[in-house]
Amino acid sequence: MSRSSIFSKIKQATDAVAQKTPLPDYDVSLVHSAPKLEGANHWETFSRNFSAVNGKPMDSIDALITLLKETENVHGYCDPALMDEVGEHLVKAGMGVETEYDRTRYEDYTFGITRATGAIAESGTLILNDEQTSDRLAALSPWVHVGVLQNEDILRTIPDAIDAFGSSPNIIWATGPSKTADVEGILIEGVHGPGEEIALLLG
């Protein structure tokens, strides 16, 4: 089989499905979390649950700068679309910030700042997809990943997030830092992805 024939078959297999299988009919009261507490908002709920899985929720760029300096993660990548809002503040604080991710120099980037598609309050999960994440490797390779989001991007439940999948061919749900466990049940963070997962709320 020729190389072009192989790639043609791969492309056919990975092309977007014209008509997606409908979601199952389920009783939403069985799968949705309890309503939010009176006075609580989605960010507060998300922050509590994100912290519970060792994520770091922040609503201040100054707090981000402090953490990056304290942990000596001072050179990294920033989505060009976020330079005015985030990257320039890091540059003024004396950090090295690049807007192009050079995959041959992946070890040079100790942090990656990308747009988060959204977040899920009930599980403390950041959502990343290929349509809004400027460089997937920049979100997965550096030790520190910063997912930037707005308040309106936060969904209450996992079913809400499934309903909002959209057409992106690749969607990642990051519930805190990457984790793995061996057969003895010893949990290790940062093995196959960021060891620090930060959610930065803007606006």
Residue 72 pLDDT exceeds 60: yes
Q: Which of 7-16, 75-84, 135-144, 184-193 tops mean pLDDT? A: 75-84
> In the chain, pLDDT over 90 holds for what percent of residues?
59
Residue 64 scores a pLDDT above 90: yes
Q: Could you tell me the residue ranges of all domains in the chain? A: 41-202
Cα separation, 74 vs 201, whole angstroms: 20
| Res 77 pLDDT > 70 | yes
Using DSSP's 3-state secondary structure scheme, residue 31 falls into: helix
> Mean pLDDT, the chain, as a whole number?
88
pTM for this prediction: 0.80
DSSP codes, 91-155: HHTT-EEESS--GGGGGG-SEEEEE--EEETTTTEEEEETTT-S-HHHHHSSSEEEEEEEGGGEE
CATH homologous superfamily of 41-202 equals NagB/RpiA/CoA transferase-like (3.40.50.10420)
For residues 164-174, average pLDDT: 86
Kindly state the average pLDDT of the residues 13-33. 69
- pLDDT value at residue 182: 72
